[in-house]
Chains A and B, each alone.
Chain A
Amino acid sequence: MESLTGWWDDFFWGSLVVVQVFFVSLVLMVFFGLLGSAAKLSNSKALQKIANGYTIVFRGTPEILILLLFYFGSAITLTAIVNVFDPSIKFVDIDPFWAGSIAIGLIVGAYATETFRGAFLGVDPGQIEASRALGISNFNTFVYIRIPAMWRLALPPFGNHMLSLIKDTALISVIGLQETMFVAEQATANTGEPFVMYLAVGIIYLSFSTIITLTVMGYEKYGNKHLEVGK
C-alpha cells in the first residue's frame, strides 16, 4: 500500500482526465443520440437508413476497434487533408483525448439513439391529443408535454449509458491517453506492484460509477415525485 505514496497526485490528475473525457463524450452522446433518434423517427427513408447504419455499425463493432480506427484513421485522414495544402508535413498528430471522446460519444450515442427513440414512442399519445385539443401549439406541446414524459422514460437506461461512458474511458488508454490506466502502467514499471496500482484504478472507477448511479437514482426520485400516492 505504501507503494502508492508519491503516486496520489498522478492518479488524481489521471482521474481528472477521465472526468473531462466523460463530460465531453456525454455531450456528444446526447447530441448523437437525439440526432439518431430524430432520424429514425422521421419520415425520410434515407435518414432512417443512415441512422440504422449508424446504430448497426457502432453497436456491432468492438469499442476498442472503433477507437483504434478513429485514432489511426483520423490521423491519416487529417494528414492527407493537410498534405493537400502542405505536402511537406509527414504526419498530423491527433490528440487521443479528442479522438477518444468523439469515438466514445459515437459508440454510446448509438445505444442512446435506441433509448431516445423508444422513449419518444413511449409517450402516451392521449396526452399529446389532449394538449392539442386544448389549443396548445405543436412546439409548446413538444417542450412542455412530450419532453418531460420522454425524459422520465429515458432516465433509467440513460443512467446505464452514462455508466458505459465512464467505463469506456479506460479504453482510451490504449491509444495513449494519459489517464489513470496510463498512470498505473507507469507506477507499475516504477514500483513493481501492478496489483496495487491496477486495483487503485479499479477503485477510482468504482467511485465514479457509484456517483453516477446515486445521481441517477436521485433524479429518478425527483422525476417521479408526482407519481407517489399520498398516504
Chain B
Amino acid sequence: MNFDFSLIISSIPQLLEGLGLTFQLWIFSGIFGLLLAIVLMLMRISGKWYLSAPAMVYIYIFRGTPILVQLFIIYHGLPQVEFIRESFLWVVLREPFGCGILALTLNTGAYVSEILRGGVKGVPKGLGEAGAALGLSKMHRFIYITTPLAVRLAIPAYSNDVISLMKSTALVSTITLLDMMGIARVIVSETYAPYEIFISLMIIYLVITWATQKAFALFERRMSRHIIQ
C-alpha cells in the first residue's frame, strides 16, 4: 500500500475550493436557524397552548429524526408534492443549495431553541422577582433582565451547536453539492486514494472547529467577565 503524504498536502487547495460553499451553508443556516430558534423558544415559553404545543411538536420531530432523512425528504421528496412544485417556494427548493439551507435551518432551529430555553430557565428566579418588586413589567423584565443573562448562559451549548451545524454541512455532498466534502468524494473516485484525501479534508475541518471554539471561548470570557455563575 502506498501512502502518499504529498497527496495530503497537495489536495488541500482543491478541497478549499469548496470552502466557500461550506461557509455559505453554515452561515446562512446559522442565521436563519437562530431566528427560527428565537421564534420557537418564545412560542414554547409563551404559556399559551396553541403556541407552545406546535412548537413542542416541531422540536420533537426535528430532534427525533436524522438530519440526513430530513434532507432527503426535502430534496428528493418535496418535488413529488404538487403543491410545492406550483408554489413560489419552488424556485428555492428546486436547487440542491436551497434544499440544503432549508434542511439545515429547520434542524438547527429546533436544537438551538432548546438551548435558548435552557438559558432562560437558568436565570435565577430571584432576579425576576426583584424586577417585579421594583415594578418592572413582564416584558421589561424579559428584555432587560432575563435575556442578557440567558444569552450568557447559553453560549457554551450554542457554540457546540454551531460546530455541529458546520459538520452537518458535509451532508449536502449527498445531494450533489460540491462543498468540500463533495469535492473530496469526487477526487477520491478519480484517484482511488481515500485515506490521503479524507485525512486532508479532516485536517481542514479540525482547523475550522478549533478556530470556532477559540473564538467562542474569547466571546464567552468577554461577556461573562463580571458574572459569577
A-facing mask of B140-162, CB < 8 A → 1, else 0? 00000000000000000000000
Binds B, one of A8-16, A72-80, A127-135, A219-227: A72-80
Decide yes or no whether A69 CB sits under 8 A from chain B. Answer: yes
A-facing mask of B192-229, CB < 8 A → 1, else 0? 00110011011001100110000000000000000000
B-facing mask of A194-212, CB < 8 A → 1, else 0? 1111110110011001100
B-facing mask of A52-83, CB < 8 A → 1, else 0? 00001101111111001100110011011001
Contact: A170 with B170, CB < 8 Å?
no
Contact: B64 with A69, CB < 8 Å?
no
For B78, the closest partner residue in chain A by CB is: A195
Contact: A198 with B72, CB < 8 Å?
yes
Contact: A56 with B206, CB < 8 Å?
yes
Contact: B170 with A60, CB < 8 Å?
no
A65 is contacted by which of B61, B73, B181 (Cβ under 8 Å)?
Answer: B181
CA distance A202 to B74 in the complex (A): 12
CA distance A202 to B79 in the complex (A): 17
For A83, the closest partner residue in chain B by CB is: B1
Contact: B1 with A80, CB < 8 Å?
yes
CB distance from A73 to the nearest CB of B (A): 5
B-facing mask of A134-174, CB < 8 A → 1, else 0? 00000000000000000000000000000100011111011
Q: Which residues of B contact A209 (CB under 8 A)?
A: 63-65
A-facing mask of B64-84, CB < 8 A → 1, else 0? 111111101100111111000
Contact: B68 with A65, CB < 8 Å?
no
CA distance A57 to B203 in the complex (A): 9
Contact: A65 with B1, CB < 8 Å?
no
**Contacts A64-B170, A65-B205 given; does A170 touch B69 at CB 8 Å:** yes
Q: Which residues of A contact B168 (CB under 8 A)?
A: 62
For B80, the closest partner residue in chain A by CB is: A195
CA distance A198 to B73 in the complex (A): 6
Decide yes or no whether B94 CB sits under 8 A from chain A. Answer: no
Contact: B170 with A62, CB < 8 Å?
yes
For A168, the closest partner residue in chain B by CB is: B66
CB distance from B212 to the nearest CB of A (A): 9
Q: Which residues of A contact B201 (CB under 8 A)?
A: 65
Q: Which residues of B contact A173 (CB under 8 A)?
A: 68
CB distance from B22 to the nearest CB of A (A): 10
Number of B residues, CB within 8 Å of A: 40
Q: Which residues of B contact A193 (CB under 8 A)?
A: 80
Decide yes or no whether A181 CB sits under 8 A from chain B. Answer: yes
Number of A residues, CB within 8 Å of B: 44
Contact: B73 with A73, CB < 8 Å?
no
**Contacts A62-B170, A72-B194 given; does A205 touch B69 at CB 8 Å:** yes
Contact: B66 with A69, CB < 8 Å?
no
Q: Which residues of B contact A186 (CB under 8 A)?
A: none
CB distance from A164 to the nearest CB of B (A): 10
CA distance A173 to B68 in the complex (A): 10
Question: Which of B65, B73, B79, B210 has most A Cβ within 10 Å?
Answer: B65
Contact: B194 with A198, CB < 8 Å?
no
Contact: A65 with B198, CB < 8 Å?
yes
Decide yes or no whether A48 CB sits under 8 A from chain B. Answer: no
Contact: A198 with B77, CB < 8 Å?
yes
**Contacts A57-B202, A73-B194, A199-B73 given; does A62 touch B80 at CB 8 Å:** no
Contact: B73 with A72, CB < 8 Å?
no
Interface residues of B in 152-194 (CB under 8 A from A): 163, 167-171, 173-174, 181, 184-185, 188, 194
Q: Which residues of B contact A202 (CB under 8 A)?
A: 61, 65, 69-70, 73
CA distance A144 to B117 in the complex (A): 36
Decide yes or no whether A178 CB sits under 8 A from chain B. Answer: no
Contact: B81 with A195, CB < 8 Å?
yes
Q: Which residues of A contact B198 (CB under 8 A)?
A: 65, 68-69, 72-73
Ordered by A's residue number, 8 sampled pairs between the chains whose C-beta atoms are within 8 Å are: A61-B205, A62-B205, A65-B205, A73-B194, A168-B66, A174-B174, A188-B76, A205-B69
Could you tell me which A residues sit within 8 Å of B by CB distance? 56-57, 59-65, 68-69, 72-73, 76-77, 79-80, 83, 163, 167-171, 173-174, 181, 184, 188, 192-199, 201-202, 205-206, 209-210, 213
